[in-house]
Amino acid sequence: MTHADALFAPLAADAVPAVSRLAARCLAVDGGLPLAAGEGFTARRYAAEGGLAIGAYDPDGTLVAAAAIRPTGSTVTGTALVDPAARGRGLGAAALDWLLAGAEVVETESLTDAAAALFASRGLTRSFAEDVMRHDLKEIPDVALPDGVSLVGWAPDTVARFHAAYRAAFAERPGFPDWDEQQWTGWLVDDDFRPPWSLLAVGPDGTDLGFVVCGDGWLVQVGTLPAARGQGVGAALTVASLRAAAADGAGEMLLDVNVNNPGAAALYRRLGFTTLGRRARFTRAA
């Protein structure tokens, strides 16, 4: 048992607010989605049904590290946080070694270089990573619609066209699930869905060229049909959804973009999105 191991003890069920504060201190340094420091988000990881959690406290009673594992479908996923002020003491390595006794997957809401090196030292490989990006909607660039292109809104009689555009635009993306219209709208449309910020781009001959769909404060998907790429359709759709959100009083728009999609990330950066942090999952090699 290392010195760091000795500091960890099972985390009490009422520790969620303290974990949430710890997550906020990490977020301030590492970046990431602000929601990840919320108590709901924290509770789903650190007080999950069927899960286990441990924490380490400094002598003054501050929670300086926490780790948790929870069942996620057919696997077990673990996550951990180490206070920026308590790094370099072996707490992260001890937390990870505890996690790996029970979990095959390790996830982080804000991947740091140090965490990536620690995961590599334990033989973990990255199975997923995406950057969380934010637009504050204060300065939305002027991007004109390409010549002859018009926009059509989300409505009961355009849903099938949105779905067809989604299928055509995302077909070549790795892991494309090829959902039918019902599966896609079931995943997309909830109380947060924003039809007025969700738009279809239509070419001069009436052909659909691309689409954007948004939830409250989230750009969920944007896609251009392969034959229409590189002509400014994606940029125009993105900017039109940002303007619609701003007109409805939204203060920011977030999105996530997979690290295997650098073209899309370049487009978002060009339109004024900045990166908040990188979420990632690592898996024990089989």
Ligand X SMILES: CC(C)(COP(=O)(O)OP(=O)(O)OC[C@H]1O[C@@H](n2cnc3c(N)ncnc32)[C@H](O)[C@@H]1OP(=O)(O)O)[C@@H](O)C(=O)NCCC(=O)NCCS
Does 3 sit near ligand X (CB under 6 A)?
A: no
Minimum separation from the CB atom of position 236 to ligand X (A): 6
Q: Six-digit token pair at 256?
A: 């996530």
Contact 284, 99 (CB under 8 A): no
User: What single-letter amino acid sits at 249?
Assistant: G
Region from 30-38, 61-69, 88-96, 262-270 binding ligand X, contact rule CB under 6 A? 262-270
- In the chain, helix, strand, coil percent, each to 5? 35, 30, 35
Binds ligand X by CB under 6 A, chosen from 170, 252, 281, 284: 170
Residue 186 and residue 48: Cα distance in Å, rounded? 25
169 binds ligand X (CB under 6 A): yes
Q: What tokens were used for 121?
A: 């030292």
Residues in contact with ligand X, shown as a per-residue x/- string from 219 to 238 under the rule CB under 6 A:
---xxx----xxxxxxx---
* Residue 78 makes contact with ligand X by CB under 6 A: no
Per-residue burial over 255-268, b if 16 or more Cβ lie within 10 Å, else e, is bebeeeeeebbebb
Helix 113-121 with 91-100: angle, nearest 10 deg? 50
Is residue 40 close enough to count as binding ligand X by CB under 6 A? Answer: no
Query: What is the total count of residues that contact ligand X (CB under 6 A)?
Result: 21
Beta carbon of residue 260, minimum distance to ligand X (angstroms, whole number): 9
Nearer to ligand X, 59 or 230 (CB): 230
Which CA distances in Å does 68 have to 25, 50, 282? 18, 11, 15
Residues in 180-219 at the binding interface with ligand X, rule: CB under 6 A = 210
| Cβ-based nearer residue to ligand X, 72 or 261 | 261
* Shortest Å distance, C-beta 253 to ligand X: 13
Task: List Cα–Cα distances, 193 to 97, 213, 230, 258, in angstroms.
Answer: 40, 8, 28, 21
Instruction: Determine if 264 is a binding residue for ligand X (CB under 6 A).
Output: yes
Contact status: 72 vs ligand X (CB under 6 A): no
Q: Which of 85, 176, 263, 274 binds ligand X (CB under 6 A)?
A: 263
- Separation CA 219–CA 245 (nearest Å): 10
Q: Which stretch binds ligand X (CB under 6 A): 35-43, 105-113, 149-157, 167-175?
A: 167-175
Residues that bind ligand X (CB under 6 A): 169-170, 173, 210, 222-224, 229-235, 257, 261, 263-264, 266-267, 270
